[in-house]
C-alpha cells in the first residue's frame, strides 16, 4: 500500500500516458459507450458492448488462472496502486482498447462513408497509446501488453462472423432478458477464487452487470420502441455534422451522463443499505463489501441499473425534452 516516490522529468509523456491509461478504465466506458448509443448508432453501440463484455470477462478470468505477477517495483516505478493487487497477464487495458477501437472500426466501415485508412490509423493510435501507458505506468510487461492485444484481436476475428446472429437473438428472443441476467450472474458467482482479495472479481461483475442491463434495455427498445430490423436507427453520419447537431449531441450526452451517474449513486446506496441490513455490517465496512455474497449482488445490481438507465431511461428523457 506504500506509494513509491518518483520525480517527473517529462510532463508531456507523464500526462499523455496517465490520460491514455484512463481510456481503459470505468470513466471511459461509462462515457464513450453511452455516447455512441445516444448520438451515433444503436447497432454499432450494441456490437461494441457485446464484444467488450466478452473480451473483458475472458481477460479478467485469464489473469486469475495464469497468475503471472506484475513487474517488480523496483526496478520499475508504479504510478498506480489499486490495480497492483491484480495479476498481470494479459493486460485488460490492452484488451479493452483493442476491442473497443477495432470493433468500432469494423462496425462502422460498411455503414458510413469515411476513409478506411483514417479509421484504421485512429484505431491503431488509440490502442497503441493505451498499451504504451501500461508500460509507462509500470503496471505491465511488454509480454502482458502484447498478449492482451493479440487475445483481443483473435476474439474479434472469431466473433465477427457471428455478430449479426448474436445481435438478432439478443433483440428478438423471448428468453433474451432472462439469459442476459442469469448467465452473467452465474459467471460472477463462479469466478475463480484466489488466496487473497483482488479487485478483478468486482471489476468483472461491474462489466457483466453493465452489459446485462444494457442488453435488457436493447431488448425492451426493440420490442416496444424502435424495432432494430424494421426501422432505421438514429444515425448522424460523419460527413454531415453541423453546429446544431453538435449542440444536440452535447445536450444528450450531458443529460445522459447526469442520469447515469445519479442512477449509479442511488442504486449503490440502496443496494449497500439493503445488503448491510441483511448481513449486519455498516456500509463503510470495506472488508464486508469484499465478501462474495455482498460484492457480487451489490455491483451487479448497481451497474445493471446503470446499463438499463443508459439504454432505456435516458432515451425516453431525450424524447421528452425534444432531443431525438
Tell me the C-alpha to C-alpha distance, in Å, between residue 293 and each of 60, 92, 187, 272, 290: 20, 25, 14, 12, 9
User: In this structure, what C-alpha cell is assigned to residue 141?
Assistant: 510487461
User: In this structure, what C-alpha cell is assigned to residue 54?
Assistant: 466478452
Q: Which residue has the cell 446506496?
A: 269
Whole-number pLDDT of residue 227:
58
Q: Over pLDDT 70: what percentage of the chain?
A: 92
Q: Which residue has the cell 424502435?
A: 226
Distance CA 89, CA 51 (A): 20
Whole-number pLDDT of residue 150:
92
Backbone angles phi, psi at 228, to 5 degrees: -70, -30
In tens, the pLDDT along 37-71 reads 888 888 888 888 989 999 999 999 998 888 888 88
Q: What are the structural domain ranges in the chain?
A: 11-231
User: Annotated catalytic sites, by residue?
Assistant: 93, 140
In tens, the pLDDT along 125-141 reads 999 999 898 888 888 88
Whole-number pLDDT of residue 4:
62
The structure's pTM equals: 0.85
Q: What is the mean pLDDT of residues 207-236?
A: 74
User: In this structure, what C-alpha cell is assigned to residue 113?
Assistant: 462513408
Per-residue pLDDT for 72 more than 70?
Answer: yes
Model confidence at 239, pLDDT cuts 50, 70, 90, reads very low
In tens, the pLDDT along 112-127 reads 777 888 889 999 999 9
Q: How far is CA 242 from the centre of its chain?
A: 29
Distance CA 203, CA 61 (A): 11
What DSSP designation does 232 have? P
Pick from 194-203, 230-239, 262-271: least confident: 230-239
Contact 252, 315 (CB under 8 A): no
Distance CA 187, CA 61 (A): 10
Model confidence at 231, pLDDT cuts 50, 70, 90, reads very low
Whole-number pLDDT of residue 216:
94
Amino acid at each position: 500500500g506504500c506509494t513509491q516516490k518518483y520525480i517527473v522529468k517529462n510532463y508531456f509523456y507523464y500526462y499523455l500516458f496517465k490520460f491514455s491509461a484512463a481510456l481503459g478504465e470505468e470513466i471511459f466506458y461509462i462515457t464513450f459507450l453511452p455516447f455512441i448509443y445516444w448520438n451515433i448508432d444503436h447497432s454499432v453501440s450494441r456490437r461494441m458492448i457485446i464484444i467488450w463484455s466478452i473480451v473483458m470477462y475472458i481477460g479478467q478470468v485469464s489473469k486469475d488462472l495464469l497468475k503471472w505477477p506484475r513487474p517488480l517495483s523496483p526496478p520499475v516505478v508504479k504510478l498506480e496502486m489499486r490495480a497492483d493487487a491484480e495479476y498481470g497477464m494479459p493486460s485488460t487495458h490492452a484488451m479493452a482498447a483493442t476491442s473497443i477501437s477495432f470493433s468500432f472500426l469494423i462496425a462502422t466501415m460498411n455503414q458510413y462513408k469515411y476513409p478506411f485508412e483514417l479509421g484504421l490509423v485512429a484505431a491503431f493510435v488509440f490502442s497503441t497509446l493505451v498499451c504504451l501507458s501500461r508500460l509507462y505506468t509500470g503496471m505491465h510487461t511488454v509480454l502482458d501488453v502484447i498478449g492482451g492485444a493479440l487475445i483481443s484481436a483473435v476474439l474479434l476475428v472469431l466473433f465477427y462472423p457471428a455478430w449479426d446472429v448474436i445481435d438478432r437473438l439478443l433483440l428478438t428472443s423471448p428468453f433474451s432478458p432472462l439469459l442476459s441476467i442469469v448467465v452473467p450472474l452465474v459467471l460472477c458467482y463462479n469466478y475463480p477464487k484466489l488466496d487473497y482479495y483482488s479487485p478483478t472479481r468486482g471489476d468483472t461483475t461491474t462489466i457483466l452487470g453493465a452489459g446485462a442491463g444494457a442488453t435488457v434495455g436493447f431488448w425492451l427498445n426493440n420490442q416496444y420502441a424502435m424495432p432494430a430490423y424494421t426501422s432505421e436507427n438514429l444515425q448522424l453520419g460523419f460527413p454531415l455534422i453541423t453546429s446544431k447537431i453538435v449542440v444536440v449531441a452535447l445536450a444528450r450526452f450531458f443529460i445522459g451522463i447526469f442520469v447515469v451517474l445519479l442512477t449509479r449513486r442511488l442504486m449503490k446506496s440502496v443496494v449497500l443499505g439493503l445488503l448491510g441490513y441483511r448481513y449486519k455490517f455498516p456500509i463503510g465496512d470495506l472488508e464486508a463489501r469484499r465478501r462474495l455474497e455482498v460484492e457480487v449482488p451489490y455491483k451487479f445490481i448497481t451497474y445493471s441499473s446503470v446499463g438499463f438507465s443508459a439504454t432505456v431511461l435516458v432515451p425516453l428523457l431525450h424524447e421528452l425534452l425534444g432531443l431525438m
